[in-house]
Every structure is written in structure tokens, then in C-alpha cells.
């Protein structure tokens, strides 16, 4: 019996969320296989094969799997489970845009319920997941024969990546399946020299208090000094200050960095849902009653236009 972990990757690099998902799989217990589906993914498969605890890497390398079209990848995963050459008891994917796009389709094909965004493994069939924007934690027990699960990366530490000599077996999966019902048209990629938000060890986020997009320059230079990623509240995104891929929260990205600095953010529960698991939270807000101070480890009641330049100068 084995667990199938679906690798998240982009641009020829394995995404770190895969490592957290392997840790979740290790807590379930059993042989861990990783599926790398894509086009030109040889390097990704090599890295996946060196993740600690992984015994086998399945590589589906074909044009049909480029750009992670779920209409092609979901049937591939379902066929690996149905085929029963290996008995898979669990299928795990990171709760990323791709994971959330692909796994519900797998669950539908297998006619089982999906368990979404687990943050802990209690046993092979029981998991914890946040509900109500993280205000309550549900314990979910599933009696489905195959557990199809998305994993919130911030709930698990990253599995180690071992020495190249200590590698899992890499096996190709054939033949490719092209459902022919969707096609990739184009993509617009945000490029930044700063660390990606969900992987950054430090995140500096701005809210409506920043007043406009131009004022985010204060946060960009602070972030560059700290080597941080830059996030934002939904109010700042909706007001057009910054693009929506910077949004942190219930309907944005979930982050849990070592240090989260919230600037001019009130601390609505939908924002807290995306950052309250950060190790250390610093809040700068001129309103001492702002709810962000209830979760902050360090709070500074101050005008951000004075405090941020002072902090920058001190750093």
C-alpha cells in the first residue's frame, strides 16, 4: 500500500509545497510515491527522487501534461489509482491553485469525497482542517477507500532533500492521455526579484492605510533590506494599489513566515486567516484598537509614514 503525492512544479523547478506535502504523507505512513506530470520535467523528477522518504517517482512527461491542464492530469492520476498495479490508499496534493484544480476532479472520477486543506494528520483516516476562515478547526474522519486530500503547506514542515546518491527509483508512466477538451492559450507571469510570498521567510504586507500604490515603495525598500516578500490586504488589492497575486488571506495566499510585518492593516478575520500562523507577527497601525494587535507579538501604535522610514533607517 502506498501514498501518491502529486508534485507541484513550475519553470523546471520543484515547488517547496511538494516537500510539505511529502511530510504530510510521511505522517499518514506508508510507501511514498511522487507523480511528476508535465513536459520536460526530467530535472524536477531528479529532485523529487532525492526527497527524504520518497521511494518512487512516477514521471508523466508529455505535451498533454504541459501547463498542468487538469482535464488531462486528473484522468492520469485516477488511472494510476484504478489500475491497482500499486494499491494507493491516499492521494495528496498541495492546496495550491493547481492542486485545487486537479484533485476535486480526481475525487469525482474515483467517486469519493475530497478532504480539503488539511493542517494535521491524526491517523490514516482522520485529519484536521480549518473552517470558518480558520476560526474553527474541524476533525474529519473519512471511510472512503481512497483518501483524496489537499494539504495546506503551512501546516507541515518541509521534508528534507537528501544526497543525489540516495535516490528513489524513477519510472516513466505511459501512455500520455490527451482528453482534447481544453487547450493552453497563454499566461502572464508576474516577475519579481523578491521571494515568492508563500515561500518567503519574511513578509511585509500593506493595507488600506498605505493610501495608494505609490506609497508601497516604502514597503518594497523595507522588504529589500530584509530580503522579504511583499503582500497586501484585500482592501489594498481591491483599491488597485497592488496586483491581486499579492493578496494574503482567506481568498488570497496563505503564508506562515518566520516574521510577518502588517502595516496599515486592521486585522479582519479574513486577513488573519492567511497569516496568523506566522511565527512572529509585528503590526504597525495608528489605531490602538485595531484587531491586528490581538494577534501581534509586537505592536507599534504609530503613523506608518513615520514608523516605516524610521524602521528602514534603523535597519
By the 8 A CB rule, do 36 and 66 touch? no
Q: Per rule CB under 6 A, is residue 70 in the interface with ligand FAD?
A: no
By the 8 A CB rule, do 106 and 134 touch? no
Residue nearest to ligand FAD (CB): 249
Nearest to 253 by CA among 263, 261, 245: 245
Give the residue, chosen from 3, 93, 173, 235, that forms a contact with ligand FAD under the rule CB under 6 A.
Answer: 235
Stretch that binds ligand FAD, among 60-68, 142-150, 173-181, 283-291 (CB under 6 A): 283-291
Residue 54 C-beta: closest distance to ligand FAD, Å: 33
Give the residue, chosen from 27, 208, 220, 256, that forms a contact with ligand FAD under the rule CB under 6 A.
Answer: 208
Burial of 220 (0-12, 13-18, 19+ CB in 10 A): middle
Q: Per rule CB under 6 A, is residue 134 in the interface with ligand FAD?
A: no
Residue 21 C-beta: closest distance to ligand FAD, Å: 22
Cβ-based neighbour number of residue 114 at 10 Å = 19
Q: Per rule CB under 6 A, is residue 275 in the interface with ligand FAD?
A: no
Q: Cell numbers 532525492 correspond to what residue? A: 50
- Is the torsion defined by CA of 80, 15, 49, 277 positive or negative? negative
Residue 273 C-beta: closest distance to ligand FAD, Å: 7
Cell numbers for 216, please give them: 508601497
Which residue lies nearer to ligand FAD by CB, 7 or 204? 204
Q: Per rule CB under 6 A, is residue 219 in the interface with ligand FAD?
A: no
Give the residue, chosen from 2, 286, 295, 312, that forms a contact with ligand FAD under the rule CB under 6 A.
Answer: 286
* DSSP symbol at 289: T
Cell numbers for 66, please give them: 504541459
* Residues lying near ligand FAD in the complex (CB under 6 A): 207-209, 233-236, 247-252, 264-266, 268, 270-271, 274, 284-287, 290, 303-305
Amino acid at each position: 500500500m502506498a501514498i501518491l503525492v502529486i508534485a507541484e512544479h513550475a519553470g523546471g523547478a520543484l515547488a517547496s509545497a511538494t516537500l510539505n506535502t511529502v511530510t504530510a504523507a510521511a505522517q499518514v505512513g506508508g510507501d511514498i510515491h511522487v507523480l511528476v506530470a508535465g513536459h520536460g520535467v526530467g530535472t524536477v523528477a531528479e529532485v523529487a527522487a532525492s526527497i527524504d522518504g520518497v521511494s518512487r517517482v512516477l514521471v508523466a512527461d508529455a505535451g498533454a501534461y504541459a501547463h498542468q491542464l487538469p482535464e488531462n492530469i486528473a484522468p492520469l492520476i485516477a488511472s494510476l489509482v484504478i489500475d491497482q498495479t500499486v494499491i494507493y490508499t491516499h492521494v495528496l496534493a498541495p492546496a495550491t491553485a493547481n492542486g485545487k484544480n486537479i484533485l476535486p476532479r480526481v475525487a469525482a472520477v474515483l467517486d469519493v469525497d475530497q478532504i480539503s486543506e488539511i493542517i494535521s494528520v491524526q491517523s490514516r483516516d482522520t485529519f484536521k482542517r480549518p473552517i470558518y476562515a480558520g476560526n474553527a478547526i474541524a476533525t474529519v474522519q473519512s471511510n472512503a477507500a481512497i483518501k483524496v486530500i489537499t494539504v495546506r503547506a503551512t501546516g507541515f514542515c518541509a521534508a528534507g532533500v537528501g544526497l543525489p546518491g540516495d535516490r528513489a527509483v524513477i519510472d516513466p508512466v505511459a501512455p500520455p492521455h490527451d482528453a482534447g477538451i481544453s487547450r493552453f492559450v497563454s499566461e502572464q507571469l508576474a516577475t519579481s526579484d523578491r521571494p515568492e510570498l508563500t515561500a518567503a521567510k519574511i513578509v511585509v504586507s500593506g493595507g488600506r492605510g498605505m493610501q495608494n500604490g505609490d506609497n508601497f515603495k516604502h514597503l518594497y525598500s523595507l522588504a529589500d533590506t530584509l530580503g522579504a516578500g511583499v503582500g497586501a490586504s484585500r482592501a489594498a488589492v481591491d483599491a488597485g494599489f497592488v496586483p491581486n497575486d499579492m493578496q494574503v488571506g482567506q481568498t488570497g495566499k496563505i503564508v506562515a513566515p518566520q516574521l510577518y510585518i502588517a502595516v496599515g492593516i486592521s486585522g479582519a478575520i479574513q486577513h488573519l486567516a492567511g497569516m496568523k500562523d506566522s511565527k512572529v507577527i509585528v503590526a504597525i497601525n495608528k489605531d490602538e484598537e485595531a484587531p491586528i494587535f490581538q494577534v501581534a507579538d509586537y505592536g507599534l501604535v504609530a503613523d506608518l509614514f513615520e514608523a516605516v522610514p524610521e524602521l528602514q533607517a534603523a535597519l
